Amino acid sequence: MGTHKTIVVKIGTSSITDDEGVINRSRIAKLCAEVADLRAEGYRLVVVTSGAIAAGLPELGLGGAKRPKDIGTLQAVATVGQSALMAVYRQEFAAHGVIAGQVLLVPQDFIVRSQYLHARRTLERLLELGVVPVVNENDAIADDEIRFGDNDRIAALVANLVDAARLVLLTDTAGVLTADPRIDANASLIAEIAQIDQRTEALVSGAGSPRGSGGMASKLNAAKIAAWSGISTVIADAHRLGVLRDAVEGVAGSGTIVRARETRLAARKLWIAFAVGAQGTVTVDAGARRALEAGKSLLAAGVRKVDGSFAAGSPVEVVDQTAQVFAKGLSRHGAEDLQTVAGRRSEELPPGALHLVIHADDLVIVPA
C-alpha cells in the first residue's frame, strides 16, 4: 500500500440519499465512522462526495417530481445544498473528533498547471494538519459537469493529485458484475480486473441511477484514469458494513479491484488524456500516426482533415484515416487556422505561419 497510506474514497449521490432523493444522514454517518476508524490507524483519507443538489432540493421545496431540469436552477440549488451537505459531514466527523475541510474543484484545477499545483499544496497541507478534505465538484460554476459528468473522474484525478495508494469508489452494487443484475439473476461479482479493455467496458455500458449522474461505466473510466496513475481501485457496495476497511486492506470479495498499470502517465499527460473533453478532431495520415507513436510532434503536413470549432490551446482527438482515435493533444492552432495549413509542408507555408500543430509534450497516445 504505499508508505504514506493516503486513500481517496468517493461516494455518489444515490449512496447517501433515500428513495425520495433526500440526503440520508445515517448513510453519511456510516461513511464518516469508517473513515475515522482508518484514520485512527494512521491512514490519511480524502473523501470525494456528491450530493449538493440532492441536499438543496428539499430546502427549496423542489424535491421529488418538482426537481428542476434547467442548469441555472440546478446550480442555484447546489449552492444551497453544498453548505447543507458540508454541515452534515462536519457534524458526523466531529462525533469522532475529526475535523473536515471543504474543497471545491473544477476541471480547470487539473488542466492549468498553476491551479493544479495550488490544489495539490492545499490538499497536502490539510492532510498534514490532520483534516479530512471533503471534496466536491464546484457545481455552482461547472455547468457542463452537472450535465455530463459526476465525481468519479474528479476522484481519480484527486487520487493522482495526492499520490494515493488506493482509490475506493463506493456505489450501490457489490462491484462490477458479469451482467446487469436487473436483467440476469445469475450475475456475479468480478473480483479482479487486470486491465480495462473494450470487453469489460461493454459489460457496463448504460446510465446511472435516477438520483446519481454516473453509472458503472463512469466508475470503470475513473478506475482506468487511476490505473494510468499507478493507483489501484476498488469498486464496492457503500452499504456493506466495514466496506471501506475491507476495500483498503484488499479483503477478497469486498468489491472489484482494478489493478494499477506498471507504466504510468506523467501528471500533465494524464490531464490531457482524461481531465477535459476533446473540442474537435484532427485526422492524420499513416506517416503522421507512426511519427506520433514514436514520440514526435504533429506537423501541418500530416493533417488530412479538421472537424469541430476550437481555439488555439484546446484539446483535440487525433484520429487516423480509418477514424480510429489513437491520441489526444493540445492544438497550437484554432480550427480555422489549422484548416489553412493542413497538408502543407513547412516550405509551402507563408512566412510566420506555424507548421507545428501539436507538440510532443502536449500529446498523449490514448490508452487502449
pLDDT, tens digit, for every residue of 215-252?
788 899 899 999 999 999 999 999 999 999 999 999 98
Q: Is the pLDDT of residue 190 over 60?
A: yes
Burial level of 185, CB count in 10 A (0-12/13-18/19+)? exposed
Beta-strand pair 256-258/192-193: parallel
Read off the C-alpha cell for 234.
476498488
Q: Is the pLDDT of residue 146 over 70?
A: no
Work out whether the CA dihedral 301, 302, 308, 312 comes out positive or negative.
Answer: negative
Q: Is the pTM of this model over 0.75?
A: yes
In a 13 Å sphere around the CA of 343, the CA atoms on its Cβ side amount to 6
pLDDT for the residue 211:
42
- Identical topology for domains 6-269 and 277-365: no
Between 65 and 133, whose confidence is greater? Answer: 133
Residue 300 · residue 343 · CB < 8 Å: yes
Q: What letter represents residue 260's amino acid?
A: A
Work out whether the CA dihedral 339, 342, 344, 349 comes out positive or negative.
Answer: positive
Name the range with the highest mean pLDDT among 63-77, 266-280, 329-343: 329-343
- Torsion from C-alpha of 118, 157, 13, 217, nearest 10 degrees: 160
Residues 6+ apart with CB under 8 A from 25: 88, 92
pLDDT mean over 293-317: 93
Distance, CA of 230 to CA of 261 (rounded, Å): 5
pLDDT grade for 144, boundaries at 50, 70 and 90: low
DSSP letter (8 states) at residue 209? -
pLDDT tens sequence across 355-366 = 899 999 999 998
**Angle ∠(4,6,12) on CA atoms, nearest 5:** 175
Read off the C-alpha cell for 277.
473533453
Read off the C-alpha cell for 288.
503522421
Domain boundaries, given as residue ranges, for the chain:
6-269, 277-365
pLDDT for the residue 284:
96
Beta-strand pair 303-307/298-299: unpaired
pLDDT tens sequence across 19-44 = 878 899 999 999 999 999 999 999 99
Residue 101 · residue 77 · CB < 8 Å: no
Q: What DSSP element (H or E) covers 356? A: strand 356-358
What is the rounded radius of gyration, in angstroms, for the C-alpha atoms of the chain?
A: 22
pLDDT tens sequence across 163-187 = 999 999 999 889 988 877 778 888 8
pLDDT for the residue 269:
84
What is the rounded average pLDDT for all residues in the chain? Answer: 88
Q: Look up cell 440549488; give the residue.
A: 77
Nearest one of 98, 10, 94 to 46, comparing CA atoms:
10
Q: Please, what's the largest Cα pairwise distance for the chain? A: 71
> How would CATH label the architecture of 6-269?
3-Layer(aba) Sandwich (3.40)
Answer CATH for 277-365 from 1.10.150.530, 2.30.130.10, 2.60.40.1180, 2.60.40.350: 2.30.130.10
**Angle ∠(130,134,139) on CA atoms, nearest 5:** 155
DSSP letter (8 states) at residue 255? S
Residues paired with residue 44 on neighbouring β-strands, in sequence order: 6
**Angle ∠(229,225,14) on CA atoms, nearest 5:** 130
DSSP letter (8 states) at residue 70? S
Residue 131, phi then psi, degrees to nearest 5: -90, 145
Q: Helix, strand, or coil here: 223?
A: helix
pLDDT for the residue 186:
83
